[in-house]
Amino acid sequence: MHDTALSLANASQGVGSVLQWQDTTIMPYYKQQIKQLAEAKSHENIFDKAKDFLAGGDSRDQAAANQLAKFNTRIAEAYNSLPSTVQKNLPPSS
């Protein structure tokens, strides 16, 4: 039972570490990036939109897509850092 408790405690610590990393490091960075991209997009005028259309696209849209791809990669890293299974070895119920 001691081994099971130790295994569960270690798995819990690992999950907590991953979630804390996601919450304190990853999320604030990407929230700020998306906010900056949205603010830049909201300040454009009709001439900027026409220029982007004639150029074949908006570089800010591509920048936003790149940030989203990086964010998705970070989410996958966090998911892959979580324990896939937790071993338990409990005594039989009586």
User: 18 near 81, Cβ under 8 Å?
Assistant: yes
pTM: 0.59
Length of the chain: 94
The closest alpha carbon to 78, from 7, 27, 9, 34, belongs to: 27
pLDDT at 24 over 70: yes
Q: What one-character-per-residue DSSP string does 4-57 give? A: HHHHHHHHHHHHHHHHHHIIIIIHHHHHHHHHHHHHHHHT--HHHHHHHHHHTS
Q: What is the pLDDT of residue 73?
A: 92
More confident residue, 72 or 86: 72
Tell me the domain boundaries of the chain. Answer: 19-77
pLDDT at 33 over 70: yes
Q: What is the pLDDT of residue 53?
A: 67
